[in-house]
Amino acid sequence: MTIVWTRHAAERQRQWEIQLGITRHEVEDLVDAPEQVVRGDADAWIAQARRREGLLRVVYLEIGGTRKILTLYWTSRVSRYWQEGTDAGHVRR
């Protein structure tokens, strides 16, 4: 699976690395093997995993064999986004 970063996503990752130590490698690992995937807006998907007492969410598009990362963020509001009883394999197409 090829992973492509938008400029915006790369900037957001650098900001989160300064704040919480979230590395580019960690983000790519999450997109490659998410704990959970949920539908986003339009054609976007959101890979997410519980990290650092919160939730790391990575919004991406899947185009052929490529995942294009649009943005990412960390939130402490896990219960707002986490879908209980759903794992990465269950939500995906």
Structure confidence at residue 8 (pLDDT): 98
**Per this entry, what is the length of the chain?**
93
Structure confidence at residue 86 (pLDDT): 59
Structure confidence at residue 87 (pLDDT): 58
pTM for the complete prediction?
0.87
Element (H, E) at 1: none
For residue 69, give the CATH number of its domain.
3.30.2310.20
Number of domains in the chain: 1
pLDDT at residue 92 above 80? no
Give per-residue pLDDT as tens, 13-46.
999 999 999 999 999 999 999 999 999 999 999 9
Range of the domain at 80: 2-91
DSSP 38-92: EE-STT-EEEEEEETTEEEEEEEEEETTEEEEEEEEEES-HHHH--TT--HHHH-
